[in-house]
Amino acid sequence: MSATQIKNAVASGSLSCEAVARDCLERISARDGTLNAFAFVDPDLVLKQAKELDSLGERGALHGVPIGVKDVIITSDMPTGMGSPIFENYLSFEDAACVSQLRTAGALIIGKTVTCEFAGPAPSSTLNPHILSRTPGGSSSGSAAAVADFMVPLALGTQTGGSVVRPSSFCGIVGFKPSFGLINTHGVKPAAASLDTVGVMGRCVEDIELTFRVLTGAEPLAVDSEERPIRIGLCRTYAWTGADACSREAVEDAARRLASAGFHIEELDLPASSNDLPVTREIINDYERARAMAWEWKTHRRQISPRLSRALENGLKIPLDRYLDALKRVALCRVEASRLFDTVDLLLTPSANGEALSGLEDTGDHRFQSIWTQLRTPSIHLPTSSGPTGMPVGIQLVGRYQEDLKLLAIAQRVLSLLGSGPCVAV
């Protein structure tokens, strides 16, 4: 069941929160020993909270909906391990703002999903539920796998480069990175504060929109296309040549099919300033991450992985003037790129390089997602097709900064036209 279906069934009394919780716990028990999507689940705690939700007369917008929470987002009743031995059994006295908002809406936090170490570049132990020898992507690997494998209908992730959209693409689910700053990040372990964004992962756009509205207080938005067709800009970006044929075909096929359905499609290029984004991303990410992890680097350096250590060492070597110059270049690109939306409603672009990579040593190329992370625009991955080996492939839609509801409304229409690729149901 989708989160919306669960919420409606609980509201009508045809399903109890406890029954939903038991079903999810049964699935986790059967599958997570193989996939390792969850870092922490306490069945007794889950069932206790589900029974408490059943006893309440008032029903919230997510009442009884089980949600996984990425293990860099603090919770008061579950440890937050950050994917690192440094924080083993760490328990906060408070919930992150986003977790508290979900609980207020009646959501059931079913557990903490596995993250790459400090949401960084080192791969996690989570496997891809489609083919176990393929990466699930990073760093929100556990959240993507848990949703794709029907352990939970929804999960929170975070994105600093591509950590919501890429694992959603590799695992064949819907992944939404909202506009920077719209979902409060208090209680989320910082990686790069000027880029960090809380995202939502699910199996349909309707569930994503419902969760986004809970977390922001937004009202529903319907897009009326009777007066004019929806305008989509086909934006291949500088990363296009690095995409596999299946990813390029997914985007071009979507453009053809949407044009046949009455959408207006035009080709657009990012401004020349965007060519700096691969470089600025590494400067900003490493500089800010090194300073955000000053305590861990000073006191627990030997417990940090070699891959993350290299990023921190690089960040500490970056001079302030180089960091400030990177910020200025990105700010200029944001202004120039925003003009693309003067003629289109959304951009259509690749989500990832292609199918999930074989092996677990590399979580994938962030260039297809970090463009939009730096530009702070909302973006959503839609699982519309599959690649040559049957693994999920899809498309990414991008909206104007702070026009998230418009993006979600059109994305729902696009996915209904193109059709969704299959999730895993073993």
CATH number where 258 lies: 3.40.190
- The verdict on whether 247 is a catalytic residue reads no
How high is the pLDDT of residue 127? 98
Interval 2-25: pLDDT, tens: 999 999 999 999 999 999 999 999
308 & 194 share domain = no
Q: Does residue 93 register a pLDDT over 90?
A: yes
- Residue 158: band (very low, low, confident or very high) from pLDDT cuts 50, 70, 90: very high
**Is residue 133, in this structure, part of any structural domain at all?**
yes
User: Hey, how many other C-beta atoms are within 10 angstroms of the C-beta on 280?
Assistant: 21
Same domain, 192 and 280: no
The answer on 198 and 56 residing in a single domain is yes
Which of the listed residues 328, 354, 373 is the one where a domain comes to its end? 328
Q: What number of other Cβ atoms are within 10 A of residue 217's Cβ?
A: 7
User: Tens of pLDDT along 347-386?
Assistant: 999 999 999 999 999 999 999 999 999 999 999 999 999 9
Total length of the chain: 426
Same domain, 107 and 172: yes
Within 13 Å of residue 368, how many CA atoms lie on the same side as its CB?
Answer: 31
Instruction: Return left, alpha or beta for 169; rule: phi > 0 is left, psi -120 to 50 is alpha, else beta.
Output: alpha
pTM here is 0.97
Q: Are 380 and 344 within 8 A, CB to CB?
A: no
Q: Is residue 74 part of a domain?
A: yes
pLDDT attached to residue 405: 97
Residue 102: pLDDT over 60: yes
Give the Cα separation of 391 and 315 in Å (integer).
35
Contact 32, 38 (CB under 8 A): yes
Q: Mapping DSSP to helix (H, G, I), strand (E, B) and coil, where does residue 347 land?
A: strand
Does residue 111 fall inside a structural domain?
Answer: yes
Instruction: Reply yes or no on whether the pLDDT at 225 is more than 70.
Output: no
423 pLDDT tier (thresholds 50, 70, 90): low
CB 51 within 8 A of CB 43: no
Instruction: Give the mean model confidence (pLDDT) for residues 198-221.
Output: 96
Residues 250, 134 share a domain: no
Residue 314 burial by Cβ neighbours in a 10 Å radius (0-12, 13-18, 19+): middle
Q: Is residue 223 part of a domain?
A: no
Q: What is the pLDDT of residue 221?
A: 80
Alpha carbon distance 350, 250 (integer Å): 8
Q: Considering 139, 169, 247, 274, which one is annotated as catalytic?
A: 139
In the predicted model, what is the mean pLDDT of residues 226-243? Answer: 92
**CA-wise closest residue to 121 among 308, 267, 336:** 308
Out of 84, 140, 143, 163, which one is annotated catalytic?
Answer: 163
Annotated catalytic residue: which of 70, 112, 177, 189?
70
pLDDT tens-digit readout, 124-153? 999 999 999 999 999 999 999 999 999 999
Whether 423 is in a domain gets the answer: no
The number of distinct structural domains making up the chain is 3
**Would residue 420 show up in a list of annotated catalytic residues for this protein?**
no
154-159/66-70 β-pairing: parallel
**What pLDDT is stored for residue 119 in this prediction?**
98
Q: Does 131 share its domain with 267?
A: no
235 and 212: one domain? no
- Check residue 144 and give its pLDDT: 98
Give residue 111's pLDDT band: very low, low, confident or very high (50, 70, 90).
Answer: very high
Is there a domain that residue 424 lies in?
Answer: no
Dist. CA 98–CA 183, nearest whole Å: 7
The band of 227, judged by pLDDT with boundaries at 50, 70 and 90, is: confident
Question: Does any domain span residue 226?
Answer: no
Instruction: Choose one of 311, 328, 345: the last residue of a domain.
Output: 328
DSSP calls for 26-79:
HHHHHHHHHH--EEE--HHHHHHHHHHHHH-SS--TTTT-EEEEETTB--SSS-
In terms of Cβ atoms closer than 10 Å to its own Cβ (0-12, 13-18, 19+), residue 305 is: middle
- What lies within 8 Å, CB to CB, of 321 at 6+ separation is none
Q: Does residue 324 sit in the same domain as residue 408?
A: no
Predicted confidence at residue 422, as pLDDT, reads 60
Domain with residue 194: its CATH number is 3.90.1300.10
Q: Quick one: 33 and 109 in the same domain?
A: yes
Is the distance from CB of 92 to CB of 101 less than 8 angstroms? Answer: no
DSSP class of residue 134 equals B
pLDDT at 220 over 60: yes
Q: Give the separation between CA 194 and CA 38, rounded to whole angstroms.
A: 28
Query: How confident is the model over 46-70, as a mean pLDDT?
Result: 97
Domain shared by 176 and 53, yes or no: yes
Instruction: Identify the pLDDT of residue 222.
Output: 74
Q: Answer yes or no: 55 catalytic.
A: no
Question: Whole domain around residue 287: which residue ranges?
Answer: 275-328
In the structure, what pLDDT confidence band is assigned to residue 226 with cuts at 50, 70 and 90? low
Average pLDDT value for the chain? 96
Mean pLDDT, rounded, for 277-295: 98
If asked whether residues 143 and 260 sit together in one domain, one would say no
Write out the H or E segment, with its range, that includes residue 374. helix 367-375
Assess whether 377 and 300 both reside in one domain. no
Cβ proximity of 148 and 171 under 8 Å:
yes
Residue 426 has pLDDT above 70, yes or no: no
User: Would the pLDDT of 341 be above 80?
Assistant: yes
Judge whether 225 lies within some domain: no
